[in-house]
Structure 1
Amino acid sequence: MGRLQRLSSNACQRLARRAAPQPIIRRRVTYQVAGRDFLVISGYEPDGQRIFYLKKLVRPSLQAGFEFVYPANRRERYDRDVEAISRSLSLVDP
């Protein structure tokens, strides 16, 4: 058997912090819309430096979607791409 070692109060606190569940870091949603067969959610990543855009098209047995994350300081450039991808997304029955 291993030898028990007495830990300092600081060492115990460090171990407890590592063992504790990590907080959930949430995105900041600034836009969301949902329809009968789609949803769109957009906003900022927790760091505030990146924008995310998520679009899903759904049917009972079929779905398609994409998520795009890009630097907030390049928003003007990437918003055009996201818009083009979003407009081109469609569901086609197999």
Structure 2
Amino acid sequence: MTRLSAEEVHQRNIFILGCTFYELYFNVELEQYRDIIYQSQFEDDMIQLQGPEPPSEPEISDELWQVIRRCYAADPKSRPTIQEVVQEMESWKID
């Protein structure tokens, strides 16, 4: 098993965060991704992953959907940092 760099661990964690947001919002389990995440060849498989499309119900805001999609982008290097996710979500606050 190849040891992941700190950057690769971060990219994996952001992918998992996107999947978690998806599962919580749509009340579904993404079992097909869970197996891949824990495989020993993780880094090779992640590069080829594409996250799921949103179901038609419930509706989801464009802002939230964009954050979710960015978190599980197929290219790990294009995923946001956790700070970027937090900043984006904080900008949605309504006073």
TM-score after normalising by structure 2: 0.27
Alignment TM-score, normalising by the size of structure 1: 0.27
Higher helix share: 2
Structure exhibiting the larger radius of gyration computed from Cα positions: 1
